[in-house]
Amino acid sequence: MEADRLSRTLLAWYDAEARRLPWRSPPGVYADPYHVWLSEVMLQQTTVAAVIPYFRKFLDRWPTVLDLAAADSEEVMAAWAGLGYYARARNLLKCAQHVASVLGGRFPDTEDGLRSLPGIGDYTAAAIASIAFGRATVVVDGNVERVMARLFAEQAPLPGVKPRLKQRAAQLAPQERCGDYSQALMDLGATLCTPRNPACGLCPWVRDCQGRLQGIAADLPARTPKAEKPTRHGLAFWIARWDGSILLRKRPPHGLLGGMLEVPSTPWRDSSEGGAWTLDEASKHAPLSCSWHPVRGTVRHTFTHFHLEMTVVTGIARGGEPPASRWVSPESLGEQALPTIMRKIVRHAML
C-alpha cells in the first residue's frame, strides 16, 4: 500500500467530514492542550455522547487548568459523578495542581514530559502531544485498531495483535498534520468503519481495504474470548434521622470509587468469600445500630471486571454521626457526588 497516498486521501476526507466536537479545533489547527487533556481523560472507557455535556460543564466552571487546580476536590468529584472510573477524577485534580504549581500552568509538549504527570499514560500523552503540539506520534484507540485490522486484514485476535496494529497505523502516518491524522482515523472508525454494518461504500479507503476485498471486514478485529465476569454481593444501609435526613459516608481515598460518597454498605464479596450477605452478618458492618427492615428487590450494576448485586435495608437512627459521614436531606441527594451504583441504591430505597 502507498502510505503517502492513503494518508492524503484520509486527510482530504477528514477536512470535509471531521466531527465537530467541543474540544477540537478545525482541521489544520492545533487544539488547546487543556481541552485535549480534559477530553481524553473523560473519554477513557466512556462514549463521546456521554462525555460532551460533562466536558462543557467542566469548561464552563473551570475554563483553564489554573481554575481547575484551585477547585475544591469535593466539587470536582460532584461534577464528575456519573462518568464512572473515579480514579480519573482524582488524578485529574492532581495533574492540574502539578501543572499549575510546578509548570506554571503550561503542559509539557513532549510525550515523555506528559507521561510524567499524574494520571497520564502512553495513550493520553500521545494524544496531547500529537493533537495539541503536532508531535509525530500515533494515537491508537479501539476505533483505530478496528480500522487497521480491516485495512490490512489482520486476523490475529485482540489484545495480542495490538502492537502490530499500532505499527500499521504508524506506517501510514504523514510527516505533517499528525494530530489530524490521528483524529481522522478515530473519526473513520467511529462513523464509517463501525463495529457492526460498516459503511464501506463511503470509506475513503474502500479500494484498498484488504478486509473488504476478502469479504471478512465485518468480522475484524478478532478477539480472544473474555472470561465470564464474577458477581459480587453487598448490603446497603439506608439510615434516616428524625428529621428525614439520610446518612451518607465518604469512601476511603483509594480503591474503587475512592473518595466518593456512598450509602453505607458492607464490603463487596464474591461466592468464594460467602456470597450474598445475611442481615445478621451484615449488621456488624452497619455504621449505626438500628432495627433493620429489608427493601424488596435487588440493585444490580456492572463494573469493568465484575457484576455487583446489592440488597438494601432501612433503619431509623437513634442518634450519632459516624466518622467520615454526613446527614443529607432527601431534597439535596441529587446534588451529592454519588457514583452511579449509589444513585441506583437511592432510587431503590426511595420507591
pLDDT value at 74 more than 80: yes
* Interval 292-298 mean pLDDT: 97
| Cell numbers standing for residue 155 | 486476523
Catalytic residue among 2, 17, 40, 335: 40
Fold for the domain defined by 3-219: Endonuclease III; domain 1 (1.10.340)
pLDDT at position 233: 98
Cα–Cα separations (whole angstroms), residue 270 to 190, 252, 296, 306: 36, 21, 21, 9
Confidence of residue 195 (pLDDT cuts 50, 70, 90): very high
> In CATH, which superfamily holds the domain spanning 231-349?
Nucleoside Triphosphate Pyrophosphohydrolase (3.90.79.10)
Which residues lie closer than 8 Å to 302 by C-beta, 6 or more apart?
229, 308
Q: State how beta strands 261-262 and 293-302 pair.
A: unpaired
Which residues lie closer than 8 Å to 189 by C-beta, 6 or more apart?
141, 142, 143, 144, 146, 147
* Interval 128-135 mean pLDDT: 96
Average pLDDT, the chain: 95
* Interval 129-145 mean pLDDT: 95
For the chain, state the CA radius of gyration: 24
* Interval 132-144 mean pLDDT: 94
* Interval 312-327 mean pLDDT: 91
pLDDT at position 321: 85
pLDDT value at 339 more than 80: yes
pLDDT value at 1 more than 80: no
Quick one: 230 exposed, middle or buried, by C-beta within 10 A (0-12, 13-18, 19+)? exposed
* Interval 276-293 mean pLDDT: 96
* Interval 51-57 mean pLDDT: 97
* pLDDT per residue as tens digits for the range 83-123: 888 889 999 999 999 999 999 999 999 999 999 999 999 99
**pTM for the full predicted model:** 0.83
pLDDT value at 351 more than 90: no
pLDDT at position 45: 86
Is position 40 annotated as part of the catalytic site? yes
Q: Where are the domains of the chain?
A: 3-219, 231-349
Residue 233: beta bridge partners?
A: 269, 309
Confidence of residue 210 (pLDDT cuts 50, 70, 90): very high
Least confident of 142-146, 187-191, 225-229: 225-229
Percent of the chain topping pLDDT 70? 100
pLDDT at position 91: 94
